[in-house]
Structures are given as C-alpha cells and as structure tokens.
C-alpha cells in the first residue's frame, strides 16, 4: 500500500553518514531511561487479589451469596485487611439494589483502586474485557473511532493523536485536545481503560465527545460514528528530489505487526537506488518498545535504550539485528502527536547523532508500559 503523506517544506537530507558519525551511532551516548515498575506498569487481567485466591458467587433468591476462599495476608506485608473484608462482606447484605451486587466486579474495582492510588495515570489494571481490547488495538484491528488517548501533565484526559484515515481524523480531532465528556459522562475521574471502554463500541453506533482545544476554554461537541478500524503500521511512499529518490516511511504505531511490516518495507527500499530516507513518526502514539528498538536497529548499532527498574537495576537494550541503512542519510519527522515509544525512537536517533529531527515538540510521554500478564484473562 502506498500512502501519500504531506511533508514539511525544505527538508534537507544530510550527506551520507561520516565515519565519525557512524562511530557515534555505534556507541551512542543515549541515556534515555525507560522507567519500569515504579513509573509505568500495566496490570493485565486478574492476579494480585489482596491475599484472596478465589471468590465464589451464588444467588439465593434475590440476594447473592459471596463466599471468600482464603484470606491470607500477602507475604512480607504487615497490613490489617479486616476493614476491607468487612466492607466486602457487608455490601451484599446491606446494599438495596441486589442486582448491582457482583463479587467479581467488587474484586476488579478493588484492584483498580489499589493501582490508582499510586497516582500514575499510566499505571492501570485491566480486567479481561479491557485486556482483550488492548490486544485488539495492538493487532491493528478493532471497532472504534480511531484515536489514541492519554493524560497530560495535569492528569487531564487528552487526545494523543488521531489515526490517519479514521472517523476521528475525519472529524477534525487534533493532538492534545482535552476530552471533557464522553457522551454524558465527565472524564475527570475516569481511568484510561474506562475511557477507552466508553469510546469504543460496535461499528455504526455513535459517540459524542465534548472537547476543548489546548489553551482555550471553549468546549465543543463532536458526534462521531464508530467504524471498523484496520491499521497498517508501516507504509512507504517515494519522492523525487534534485539529489535523487527519497523513501518516505510512515510509521503510524508500534504494534504486533510492525516488525514484519517494517522488514517488508526495508526489503522494498533496498531494491531501489535511493539517496536517503525520511521516517515519519508524526501522530505515532507509541506502542511496543521492542518494535521501536527493531526500527531503530536499521539505522544504528550499540545501545539504543536503557531500562531502569524499581530495584535500581539498569539494563541496556542494543540493536536486535544488523541494520541495512547504517550510513544512509536520514531525517525523522515528529509532532505533538508523537508519544511514548516514538519519542524513545527519536531520542535514541538524536542522541546517537544519527539523523536530523524535524518538526514540533513531541507529546512528552517518554515512558512505556511494561505489560504484566496475570492469570484469569
């Protein structure tokens, strides 16, 4: 597939990388730490359950009977859980709407609240349904409107980037638009998974967003019809210049198929006599760290990123294959919708003095989430 992407005016590709710059790329000075565990850990599905291993829910008439099996306190934790269990066991008896009493939902809500208490909007617990939605998105196929959302420095829900060619893109939604309401629900207390749940929905249905553009206090409503979203993460275009043909590679996200799609693009580019490459990371909201390392490996050697863990360990991540374009003139395009793994890619390339970075200030989320799969979906 060929994508026609508008480019900034007057982009000058550098000459072929010199030996000095190649050495810098081989031994980069990149100290862009990816803060894991303390800063950003996503809890997937059910696993950490406050010392309780199993919940059995049975209904007797209108009153659900919840049996808690095993109330062991977690190891190395001097915490009195009696208040928690008092509330957990009192709600089924005292709450007037018995249809709302669901022990499994109690459990998921308790875990979600525990994770939210960290105060990090990007650290979240996903129940099995939410986990499946994230997997669908990373696979590049889901039903929704086609936006990536996150939080700004004030922990307000914002658009990271609309995905090109989707209903959100067609509706004129922009990076850093504040999302004030989803249908009639205020967003100030929503977690990221909860907001995604509200925006997603079957193709053909509609969702109303109340938005406010960055720097203004004038909210406006947008009604968008949901659709089937199919995203190809890597697309190639070509541009003739007075110095030769240039390959323009648009990377829309770092998902499950990015590595294979990138390798196909590299094979296509390698068959042509090109002068240089432009990697377009504009409106790339990020994704899988491993995929960003794979793409960066095409242009540089040595350490690409360092991960700092909660126990103080620092692990270096080097290129995962021998790149085909280690000395090819390179430009990387970014904008305010470039976030997370795409910022890490651009930061590594810049600190290695491997390419020019052209565009706007990026979104500012220079971290990635470490997915932890737990039992239960």
Do 225 and 148 fall into the same domain?
A: yes
Per the structure, the count of domains in the chain is 3
What b-and-e string marks burial along 160-197, b requiring 16 or more CB atoms within 10 Å of the CB?
bbbbbebbbbebebbbbbbbbbbeeeebeebbbbbbbb
Evaluate whether residue 125 is within a structural domain.
Answer: no
- pTM across the whole model: 0.71
Closest Cα partner for 141 from 236, 253, 224, 289? 253
Which tokens belong to 294? 């794979």
Evaluate whether residue 8 is within a structural domain.
Answer: no
Distance from C-alpha of 167 to C-alpha of 183, rounded to nearest angstrom? 16
Distances, alpha carbon 185 to alpha carbons 180, 209, 343, in Å: 9, 9, 31
Contact yes or no for 62/95 (Cβ under 8 A): no
Do 364 and 284 fall into the same domain?
A: yes
Evaluate whether residue 211 is within a structural domain.
Answer: yes
Do 167 and 52 fall into the same domain?
A: no
Q: Is 365 among the residues known to form the active site?
A: yes
pLDDT of 353: 94
We report the CATH number of the domain holding residue 366 as: 3.90.226.10
Evaluate whether residue 221 is within a structural domain.
Answer: yes
Evaluate whether residue 271 is within a structural domain.
Answer: yes
Distances, alpha carbon 358 to alpha carbons 7, 13, 159, 336, 338, in Å: 10, 11, 22, 12, 12
Do 364 and 238 fall into the same domain?
A: yes
Which tokens belong to 346? 């651009």
We report the CATH number of the domain holding residue 201 as: 2.30.42.10
Catalytic residue among 250, 257, 301, 365: 365
pLDDT of 9: 60
Catalytic residue among 112, 336, 340, 342: 340
Q: Is 340 among the residues known to form the active site?
A: yes
Catalytic residue among 127, 177, 280, 351: 351
What b-and-e string marks burial along 126-145, b requiring 16 or more CB atoms within 10 Å of the CB?
bbeebbebbeebbebebbbb
Closest Cα partner for 98 from 131, 73, 61? 61
Tell me which residue range forms the domain holding 82. Answer: 47-116
Closest Cα partner for 196 from 254, 283, 122, 120? 122
Do 248 and 357 fall into the same domain?
A: yes
3-state DSSP percent of the chain in helix, strand and coil, to 5 = 25, 30, 45
Closest Cα partner for 352 from 301, 291, 276? 301
Do 354 and 239 fall into the same domain?
A: yes
Evaluate whether residue 6 is within a structural domain.
Answer: no
User: Per-residue pLDDT for the chain (377 aa), expressed as one digit of tens each?
Assistant: 444 556 666 666 666 555 444 444 444 433 434 433 333 333 333 333 333 334 444 444 444 555 555 556 667 777 888 888 899 889 999 999 988 889 888 999 999 999 989 988 888 888 888 888 888 887 888 999 999 898 988 889 999 989 888 999 999 999 999 999 999 999 998 988 899 999 999 999 999 999 999 878 899 999 999 999 998 999 999 999 999 999 999 999 999 999 999 999 999 999 999 999 999 999 998 889 999 999 999 999 999 999 888 888 999 999 999 999 999 999 999 999 899 999 999 999 999 999 999 999 998 886 777 788 887 76
Closest Cα partner for 212 from 173, 253, 265, 269? 173
């Amino acid at each position: 597939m060929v994508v026609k992407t508008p480019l900034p005016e007057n982009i000058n590709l550098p000459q072929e990388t010199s030996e000095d710059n190649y050495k810098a790329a081989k031994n980069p000075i990149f100290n862009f730490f990816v803060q894991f565990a303390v800063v950003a850990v996503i809890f997937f599905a059910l696993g950490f359950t406050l010392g309780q291993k199993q919940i059995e829910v049975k209904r007797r008439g209108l009153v659900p009977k919840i049996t808690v099996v095993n109330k062991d306190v977690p190891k190395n934790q001097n915490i009195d859980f009696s208040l928690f269990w008092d509330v957990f066991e009192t709600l089924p008896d005292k709450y007037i709407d018995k249809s709302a009493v669901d022990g499994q939902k109690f459990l998921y809500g308790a875990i979600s609240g525990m994770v939210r208490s960290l105060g990090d909007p990007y650290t979240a617990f996903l129940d099995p349904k939410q986990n499946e939605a994230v997997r669908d998105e990373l696979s590049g196929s889901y039903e929704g409107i086609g936006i990536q959302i996150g939080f700004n420095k004030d922990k307000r829900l914002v658009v990271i980037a609309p995905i090109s060619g989707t209903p959100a893109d067609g509706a004129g939604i922009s990076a850093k638009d504040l999302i004030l309401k989803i249908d009639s629900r205020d967003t100030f207390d929503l977690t990221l998974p909860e907001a995604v749940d509200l925006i997603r929905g079957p193709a053909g249905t509609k969702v109303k967003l109340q938005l406010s553009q960055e720097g203004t206090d004038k909210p406006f409503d947008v009604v968008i019809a949901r659709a089937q979203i199919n995203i190809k993460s890597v697309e190639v275009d070509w541009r003739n210049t007075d110095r030769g043909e240039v390959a323009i590679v648009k990377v829309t996200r770092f998902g499950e198929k990015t590595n294979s799609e990138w390798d196909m693009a590299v094979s296509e580019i390698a068959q042509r006599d090109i002068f240089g490459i432009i990697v377009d990371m504009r409106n790339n909201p990020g994704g899988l760290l491993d995929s960003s390392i794979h793409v960066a490996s095409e242009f540089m050697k040595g350490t690409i990123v360092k991960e700092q863990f909660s126990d103080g360990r620092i692990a270096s991540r080097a290129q995962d294959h021998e790149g085909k374009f280690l000395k090819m003139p390179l430009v990387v395009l970014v904008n305010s919708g470039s976030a997370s793994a795409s910022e890490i890619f651009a930061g590594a390339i810049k600190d290695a003095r491997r390419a020019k970075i052209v565009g706007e200030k990026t979104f500012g989320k220079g971290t990635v989430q470490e997915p932890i799969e737990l039992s239960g979906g």
